[in-house]
Structure 1
Amino acid sequence: MTLASPPQTKPLSDEELRKMNAYWRAANYLTVGQIYLLDNPLLKEPLKIEHIKPRLLGHWGTTPGLNFLYVHLNRIIKKDDLNMIYIAGPGHGGPGIVANTYLEGTYSEYYPNVSQDEEGMKRLFKQFSFPSGIGSHCTPEVPGSIHEGGELGYSLSHAYGAAFDNPDLIVACVVGDGEAETGALATSWHSNKFLNPVHDGAVLPILHLNGYKIANPTVLARMSREELQSLFVGYGYKPYYVEGSDPEAMHQLMGATLDTIIREIKDIQEEARNHGFRKRPQWPMIIMKSPKGWTGPEEVDGKKTEDFWRSHQVPFGELASKPEHLKLLEDWMKSYKPEELFDEHGKLKPELAELAPKGQRRMSDNPHANGGILLRDLKMPDFQNYAVDVPESGKVVAEATKVMGNFLRDVLKLNQESRNFRIVGPDETKSNRLDAVFEVTNRTWVADTVPEDENLSVDGRVMEILSENTCQGWLEGYLLTGRHGFFSCYEAFIHIVDSMFNQHAKWLDTSRDIPWRRPIASLNYLLTSHVWRQDHNGFSHQDPGFIDIVVNKKAGVIRVYLPPDANCLLSVTDHCLRSRDYVNVIIAGKQPALQYLGMDAAIKHCTKGIGIWEWASNDQGSEPDVVMACAGDIPTLETLAAVDILRQNFPDLKVRVVNVVDLMVLQPPSEHPHGLSDKDFDSIFTTDKPIIFAFHGYPWLIHRLTYRRTNHNNLHVRGYKEEGTTTTPFDMVVRNDLDRFNLADDVIDRVPKLGYKAAYVKQMLHDKLIEHKHYIAKYGEDMPEIRDWKWPY
């Protein structure tokens, strides 16, 4: 590996240095103003307490470094006509990013009320962390942002996701040294093993060492240069150091470093694009070490503040009770010499404004940071061509996700040329029966290979790394910059990205109310290897709770689908890949299973999201005695098998079978746009008959979704209740009382007309459960009558 030598040149002329330093001062001034000021934005009169916000919120410590980098990236964009976006990993850098978008004019273009004058500056200051204003992070309201950073750890994976298949884009990603302590960030450094300079863009990681977190030193900042060098060379990077506190020296060093790095990036790309990919390049990165709270107060009340953790948030408060603090703030803001930066009307002086790039070369107006502008529809095959032939319900066996894999294979094939669709997952594509995709593509891999490797290619469209966090971050960055994708994962371990999903859902929800944000492709999850077919891996792999996490989010954003068979899965997948601005969660098993609906029936069923299965019901022309409802492939199987038991033993019992594909139809329409009206819900579930509901997940979720419905008191839900182990497939449902025998028993207990004659049937059901336990203990597999059961009617 080549080690970087610090550039020795001074690329900035005295005039350029003066202007860039002034621009940096302007950004710092606007940052402080947003944190503190309610009025008097240009300090035209002595600062008074009525000019100060009553609640001081925000973070100062990281922003001077972010502002410093921003002005230097602007310089190199103009110098080399670069296409670049900026990701601020330190989430608390929001006021600095807003300040820079304001300085280059974009903010006022998107929000004309925040004009580039004194009144506009006043509004800019007031709105920050203020009721009915904007948040303190790089929220969706901030032009140029695809990464809020409120939760740390995802900046670098977002950056790489944005760079994949974006050959002309450079993503400048600032990684805070606090953020660098997270596991998600530590893993994402390995994303360079997946970046192909032939057709991908470049990521420029900038590790910003300012020494401290909220109240503690950061680990990386206390490592020696030799240790850091070894660490990042080991990751495969070529680190350049920019270190110091003297502004003039730092400006020259950063200017020379960026000149060198951009040349190296271009050389890497030119070599690969002219001669083909030969070996993984050693991409450059920057390690920038600067004081926390740089240019702020050195001390407050006799305690060290600059270059210490005390500058992390608001460096000082109590301005009403401590007049010396008010004077300190005024002196601090005046140290930036605002009269040299803004004219008497508050507009940035022209000689400084000209430093910013123009139009969409501004990082705050780059279309890649508003990916919906660039989004193009996928070319889609007709999903009906992949249908499983189902001449009779409940008799044909197929593997749902394997059928889905054939469909995804051809989605990849049709979009190979446009390079706008990728599949991500933690080393589970083949395990999840999606391996048909390898007929048209391979796994992305630019690290070393050996002859025995299979399905690895520098041009692969399937991205696998054993880090759900990195997969999620890649996909989010890819979607937010205008492409499409699909995430396949074991159900139990999608929980690893609970918090990341949460942040993305919040981003989508907020974006929907921002007129200039364009809709992006939906985030699509396939959760398979699910709770009811993790009998072999045991308790640790048995958890359907991601559904509960998802349903907590706003109804306008989330969708949850539980297709019962392969044709329904095809219909749902096609719908999800065409959708925009949603998080779609699809849960489907990968094992051979009974198929229930032909394609025409599946399309109708999935379009409605719920339906009475007439072929499985016998209540036509009369009222049902009981409603047997189900959501999920295994609950559907067990429900049908229970119906079979009931019909054999109680021929006069009227049973209605209801299957739910779209979980959100259970909510009222006031709570979710897919919700059934009360009239339709009552028509399907009745107003007074017992409902036995077999559900894929935790049973209380169904109660939560339906508690307002007329017949909720008669609703009895069976689902997963944390009873699991390594056992047989059927024993898993038995342990959770979701099996056919317990479901049939539930019906007997709730249909009074069955009376005393049901006693013998109940005894038979209990005997079957005992027989089951003895059989699996002796043979290690389920009874043939369970394994081989098919719908008999």
Structure 2
Amino acid sequence: MKEQVTAPSATVLGTTELDLIDRYWRAANYLSVGQIYLLDNPLLREPLTADHIKPRLLGHWGTTPGLNFIYAHLNRIIRNRDLDIIYICGPGHGGPGMVANTYLEGTYSEIYPDISADTDGMRKLFRQFSFPGGIPSHAAPETPGSIHEGGELGYALVHAYGAVFDNPDLIAACVVGDGEAETGPLAASWHSNKFINPARDGAVLPILHLNGYKIANPTLLGRAGDEDLRQLFTGYGYEPFFVEGSDPHQMHQAMAATFEQAFDRIRAIQQEARNGAPGNSCPRWPMIVFRSPKGWTGPKEVDGKKVEGFWRAHQVPVSNCREDAAHRKILEDWMRSYDPQDLFDTDGRLKGDLRALAPAGKRRMGANPHANGGLLRRELITPAIGDYAVAVKEERGRTVAQSTEILGRYLRDILTLNADNANFRIFGPDETESNRLGSVFEVTDRVWMEEIKPYDVGLARDGRVMEVLSEHLCQGWLEGYLLTGRHGLFSCYEAFIHIVDSMFNQHAKWLKVSRELPWRKPVSSLNYLLTSHVWRQDHNGFSHQDPGFVDLVANKKSDIVRIYLPPDANTLLWTSDHCLKTYNRINVIVAGKQPELQWLPMDEAVQHCEAGIGIWHWASNEQSAVEPDVVMACAGDVPTMETLAAVDLLRQNIPELSIRVVNVVDLMALQSNEQHPHGLTDEIFDKLFTPDRPVIFAYHGYPYLIHRLTYRRTNHGNIHVRGFIEEGTTTTPFDMTVLNELDRYHLAIGAIERVPGLKEKATDAVKLFRDKLEEHHRYVRQHGEDMPEISGWKWPYDNKGARIT
């Protein structure tokens, strides 16, 4: 391995090129400051007055000059080497720099013609920044060239790696801020280099931007010495290069020389791998540690207090420019120090010799199609779901299958059908086999670039299953993969998907805004398969029991989210096939992996899923001419089984009771059609659930969500929901439902208690059911397993409602 390189002394830039790149950097800095401060007088053609200053100064200067510096040097390397590079801006509020640079290169005005490349356009550019009706202060969907929402820190590097998987010619230059480097997801992201195959993937060049401070404190890595940093990143498997200083000319030479070495190293690693040389399968990729002052080139002091090189430069270094003439003078001197007349012509256009520094066409980082992945997206090739159907005909609820195992065969064949396109991967935290998707390993392996032992199983350099015990990395890789035009699936234990709650939030927000931007082309949906769920985590206990992720999902804009609870394998096949074909959505599928009863033949499964909700007439005994006495509703595989077992108990013991069974696959169908595109009209909802009859609703998750979704319905006061009520332990599967009162006996008793006048007539049935609960309690604690009549129960009726003997 090469030794650490600190500020190479080689003179890469000639005098003319050095002057040009420095002027280009000054232009980006000038535009960045203008965005934070100015309403008018964009080129300082007259002295600044209070009316030229925004009334509310919002934005972040501290990180921006360093980001601009890097952008200018990346432009140089792209132009000289004809490279395909995207810029991922980790420092969250570096938005002024990203906007400034895409404006300088011409991309911004092409996308937003009203922000023209002249004085009037510059005025509008400044005014819109952090202004009502304008754009955010961070790199956002509105920012050309961005695939990374900068509002929350921690995800830049993992997005960069996701972007380059299966993108052999792409390089993601990822700037990691030293504040961001303190987050847990970012700390784990450094390990992503161990999943890059240089023969088929692109490359990531991490640039750790150390300016020493975050909002009001020093940063940990900013205070670390070079030797500690060298050892840290060498230990992570990188080859670190160092660029440090504050003198612009020296820093330009150092960065230019370092980029030459870093990109030479990337090219050498890839050529070696692609030529079949027996090199290191897990090479040391280069990374750069870039130290520059926070607020570089800004005011040294304000009101006698240190600003440049200190945390006071983080946001708005001169804060009272509208009211305080002395502050306004500091701002004017600061902006004039960039010499705008040397940068822009009389019309306000960037001067020609500087415009020539930007790459052309799609090589501009703001115009790179990988940063608008819908431009590159190809439809996923999927097999016919009927080829995997579980045979369910007359014997509903009597055939047993593992639904996710069936799905695994379907996913296996998707991998095969799309092998040439290399645009589908499966992501999960070491759980693909555990979640019964193991059939995929018949055609691929897990990605593994480190040493493979002779006894290892299922590891390969060219695998298409991404497993690492970090939900953050799985989510981030998949997001980067999707945002650059590909497809994927994230399979996870239900309880632990909460680890990425905040990442889900950010991606949902990204999609919400992107859908409103006509130039942002649709990307493939983010698809979650949540299995090993709450009702079948009885062996792991309370720590593994939490169905609440869907509550978070349901908070988001209705255009974005979908929640599916397929009750068996055939409905899971339809749901998964549907979700993988959608775009600009977040789809959550909750399905069990354990052996379970199968209910619907494929033709009925398709019809039921397309509707999202429906009456299961074969399970009901109501007379069509009148409303039923009670509606037994269910959503989720275990709640469906317990509901049908409860219906069986009621039909046996109270045969005159008229029962309707309603099953919900698409949870958002419960909402009004005015609230969600999949929602039912009030008329249809009332036809299913009746306007006035009791509804016993067995739900997979927390009961409150069903009430949230249905609170405006006519019959909401009669909807009684059973679900997870935070009772769990290591116990039997049926005992888990009993602890949470979701079991068949509690459901049957609930129906009896809520049908008017029935409780007094059915005292024997209620006593029987309560006695069964006591018997169950004794039995499981003596034998450690469920009673045979529970574990062996099957649906005992044929399609005409006759009991099978």
Q: Report the TM-score range of the alignment, normalised by the length of the smaller protein.
A: over 0.9
Distance 1:284 1:435 in 2: 35
Residue in 2 that maps onto 1:93: 94
The SS at the match of 1:596 is coil
Residue in 2 that maps onto 1:155: 156
Instruction: Give the alignment of 1:82-481 within 5 angstroms.
Output: 82-275=83-276, 278=279, 279-391=281-393, 392-481=395-484
The SS at the match of 2:511 is helix
Residue in 2 that maps onto 1:714: 718
Residue in 1 that maps onto 2:768: 764
Aligned: 1:504 with 2:507:
yes
Q: Which of 559, 568, 571 lines up with 2:562 in the alignment?
A: 559
Q: Deviations over 1:245-296 (max 9, x none)?
A: 0000000000011011111111111110011564211100100000000000
Instruction: Write the letter of the residue equivalent to 2:366.
Output: S
Residue in 1 that maps onto 2:27: 26
Distance 1:169 1:76 in 2: 14
The SS at the match of 2:318 is coil
Aligned: 1:685 with 2:697:
no
Q: Deviations over 1:178-235 (max 9, x none)?
A: 0000010000100011000001000000000000000000000111111000000000
Contact 1:22 1:341 in 2 (8 A): yes
Calculate percent identity across the aligned residue pairs: 67
Q: Deviations over 1:643-669 (max 9, x none)?
A: 000000111110000000000100001
Shift of 1:3: 2.3
Residue in 1 that maps onto 2:802: none
Residue in 2 that maps onto 1:583: 586
The SS at the match of 1:91 is coil
Instruction: Write the letter of the residue equivalent to 1:371.
Output: G
Distance 2:460 2:130 in 1: 47
Aligned length: 793
Contact 1:162 1:481 in 2 (8 A): yes
Aligned: 1:648 with 2:649:
no
The SS at the match of 1:269 is helix
Distance 1:377 1:277 in 2: 36
The SS at the match of 1:792 is coil
**Structure 1 range deviating more: 138-147 or 613-622:** 613-622
Q: Deviations over 1:97-150 (max 9, x none)?
A: 000000000000000000011100000000000000000111101110000221
Instruction: Give the alignment of 1:60-79 within 5 angstroms.
Output: 60-79=61-80
Instruction: Give the alignment of 1:545-624 within 5 angstroms.
Output: 545-621=548-624, 622-624=626-628
**Structure 1 range deviating more: 558-567 or 410-419:** 410-419
Residue in 1 that maps onto 2:800: none
Distance 1:382 1:789 in 2: 32
Instruction: Write the letter of the residue equivalent to 2:240.
Output: P
Instruction: Write the letter of the residue equivalent to 2:340.
Output: P
Distance 2:791 2:594 in 1: 13
Instruction: Write the letter of the residue equivalent to 2:182.
Output: E
Q: Deviations over 1:567-586 (max 9, x none)?
A: 00000000001001100000
Using a 3 Å threshold, how does the CA distance of structure 1 residues 199 and 499 change in structure 2: closer, same or farther?
same
Q: Deviations over 1:347-366 (max 9, x none)?
A: 00000010000000000000
Provide the alpha-carbon RMSD of the alignment: 0.8
Shift of 1:322: 2.0
Residue in 2 that maps onto 1:539: 542
The SS at the match of 1:364 is coil
Shift of 1:616: 0.2
Residue in 1 that maps onto 2:486: 483
The SS at the match of 1:78 is helix
Residue in 1 that maps onto 2:3: 3
Q: Which of 756, 768, 772 lines up with 1:752 in the alignment?
A: 756
Instruction: Write the letter of the residue equivalent to 1:5.
Output: V
Instruction: Write the letter of the residue equivalent to 2:329.
Output: K
Distance 1:299 1:16 in 2: 31
Contact 1:196 1:277 in 2 (8 A): no
Q: Deviations over 1:554-573 (max 9, x none)?
A: 00000000000000000000
Instruction: Write the letter of the residue equivalent to 1:484.
Output: H
Q: Which runs of 5 or more residues in structure 1 are unaligned?
A: none
Aligned: 1:45 with 2:46:
yes
Shift of 1:36: 0.4
Contact 2:318 2:330 in 1 (8 A): no
Using a 3 Å threshold, how does the CA distance of structure 1 residues 277 and 126 change in structure 2: closer, same or farther?
farther
The SS at the match of 2:22 is helix
Contact 1:479 1:523 in 2 (8 A): yes
Q: Which runs of 4+ in 1 moved over 4 A?
A: none
Residue in 1 that maps onto 2:736: 732
The SS at the match of 1:293 is coil
Instruction: Write the letter of the residue equivalent to 2:727.
Output: E
Contact 1:557 1:583 in 2 (8 A): yes
Contact 2:208 2:290 in 1 (8 A): yes
Contact 2:415 2:424 in 1 (8 A): yes
Shift of 1:755: 4.5
Instruction: Write the letter of the residue equivalent to 1:674.
Output: H
Instruction: Write the letter of the residue equivalent to 1:286.
Output: I
Shift of 1:321: 3.3
Contact 2:491 2:530 in 1 (8 A): yes
Distance 1:676 1:623 in 2: 19
Aligned: 1:659 with 2:697:
no
Shift of 1:725: 1.1
Instruction: Write the letter of the residue equivalent to 1:670.
Output: E
The SS at the match of 2:762 is helix
The SS at the match of 2:275 is helix
Shift of 1:450: 1.2
**Structure 1 range deviating more: 105-114 or 387-396:** 387-396
Q: Deviations over 1:501-543 (max 9, x none)?
A: 0000000010001010000000000000000001111111000
Using a 3 Å threshold, how does the CA distance of structure 1 residues 366 and 629 change in structure 2: closer, same or farther?
same
**Structure 1 range deviating more: 277-286 or 170-179:** 277-286
Q: Which of 673, 688, 691 lines up with 1:669 in the alignment?
A: 673
Contact 2:54 2:322 in 1 (8 A): no
Contact 2:431 2:491 in 1 (8 A): yes
Contact 2:4 2:230 in 1 (8 A): no
Contact 2:51 2:322 in 1 (8 A): no
Shift of 1:400: 0.3
Using a 3 Å threshold, how does the CA distance of structure 1 residues 186 and 67 change in structure 2: closer, same or farther?
same
The SS at the match of 1:130 is coil
The SS at the match of 1:365 is coil
Contact 2:34 2:126 in 1 (8 A): yes
Distance 2:585 2:593 in 1: 24
Instruction: Write the letter of the residue equivalent to 2:102.
Output: T
Contact 1:197 1:277 in 2 (8 A): no
Instruction: Write the letter of the residue equivalent to 1:190.
Output: H
